[in-house]
Structure 1
Amino acid sequence: MYSQKSTPSSVPSPVYGQPPPGPSYVAGVSASSLVSQTSWSSGLCDCCLDIPNCCITCWCPCVTFGQIAEIVDNGKTSCGFHGTLYALINVLSGCGCMYACFNRTKMRRQYGLPEVPSNDCCVHFCCGPCALCQEYRELQHQGFDLSIGWEGNIHRSTMTNIGVQIPPTALGGMSR
């Protein structure tokens, strides 16, 4: 089938959904998990890609966390609930990062993202604001507008899928 010595021209290209040829594991990770996982759309320290969100996250991480958690939770609980709970846990125990790390794990599983650069709890404990910013950017990359919440995204998706053009909203302006 394949020659023992492979040159770059003789290596078959990978087929989506099938493990690559060769050993069934790479550095202790099975080939099936390599196929199912995608990479993060941005790095942990790429905060400069979204300065406004970075500033909000640094000064008030409960807002960003609440927006992320509402989307990850599929709208079962509101942004305000998650943000308030995060703030209370952080004020009372200083361990809001523990609540955030469980949410990151849930998000990673939903989107098949790898646990990099370290496990979720370590990432949130050492780089909490950066982790929240990365999660926010990832959900944006997945097509969500976190500022309108779960219901707003569902409505936008439904209107787009049935072919209705959503007009832009005009803010302010003159009125009588």
Structure 2
Amino acid sequence: MAQIQPAGAHVEEVEWSTALLDCFEDSATCCYGFWCGPCLSCTVSGRMKECYCLPLCDYCNPAVGIGCCLGAPPCIPPAAFGLRVALRHKYKIKGSILNDLCVSWCCPMCSWCQMHRELKKRNTTPNVINIQNVVHMQPGPMMNQSTGVMY
């Protein structure tokens, strides 16, 4: 059920859980982004309930793709920018569209890594372990009525 905020109600915004260049906060994400950036960006897209292949538009576009892998692309990668804005709005993270635009253009891989770290921290679910006491009962010894011997 959706909650309706009254007009003029202020929603408290939070900071990103990690900074843009905090690769050592989660070295697994950093390695994932370094060795297979397109895979990382597709994972982020899927975790945001978007099409897994959406970020491939950034990599397949010749004007964007080579720049995404080597540094700043010549134009803004639309999937990186759009998903960053969507993630920031979904979790009410402080920032602006101009900041998202600059981050997506200057360092798209750092942006994808930051989004991945954010989703990992926010989508963690506690592990519930259900332990049941199981009692195995075996029938007691029986006695042969005719011989009086237990077996």
Query: Is the 2:55–2:80 contact (alpha carbons within 8 Å) kept by the matching residues of 1?
Result: no
Matched, 1:135 2:111: no
- 5 Å-filtered alignment, 1:118-129, equals 119-129=99-109
Matched, 1:62 2:38: yes
Distance of aligned partners of 1:43 and 1:128 in 2 relative to their CA distance in 1, 3 Å threshold: same
Instruction: State the 1:98 CA deviation.
Output: 2.8
Matched, 1:84 2:45: no
Q: In the alignment, what sits opposite 2:142? A: none
* Cα distance in 2 between the residues matched to 1:96 and 1:66: 17
* Cα distance in 1 between the residues matched to 2:19 and 2:60: 29
Distance of aligned partners of 1:105 and 1:83 in 2 relative to their CA distance in 1, 3 Å threshold: closer
Query: Is the 1:63–1:83 contact (alpha carbons within 8 Å) kept by the matching residues of 2?
Result: no
* Cα distance in 2 between the residues matched to 1:59 and 1:86: 17
Query: Is the 1:97–1:121 contact (alpha carbons within 8 Å) kept by the matching residues of 2?
Result: no
AA in 1 matched with 2:91: Y
AA in 2 matched with 1:93: A
* Cα distance in 1 between the residues matched to 2:18 and 2:110: 11
Query: Is the 2:55–2:79 contact (alpha carbons within 8 Å) kept by the matching residues of 1?
Result: no
How many pairs are equivalent? 114
The RMSD of aligned alpha carbons is 3.0
In structure 1, runs of 5+ residues without a counterpart are 1-29, 145-155, 166-176
After the TM superposition, which parts of structure 1 deviate over 6 Å for at least 4 consecutive aligned residues? none
* Cα distance in 1 between the residues matched to 2:46 and 2:95: 21
* Cα distance in 2 between the residues matched to 1:70 and 1:57: 15
Matched, 1:38 2:14: yes
Q: 2:95 aligns with which of 115, 139, 147?
A: 115
TM-score relative to the length of structure 1 = 0.54
Distance of aligned partners of 1:112 and 1:135 in 2 relative to their CA distance in 1, 3 Å threshold: same
Query: Is the 1:98–1:121 contact (alpha carbons within 8 Å) kept by the matching residues of 2?
Result: no
Which structure's residues are more often helix, by fraction? 1
Work out the percentage of aligned pairs sharing the same amino acid.
26
TM-score relative to the length of structure 2 = 0.62
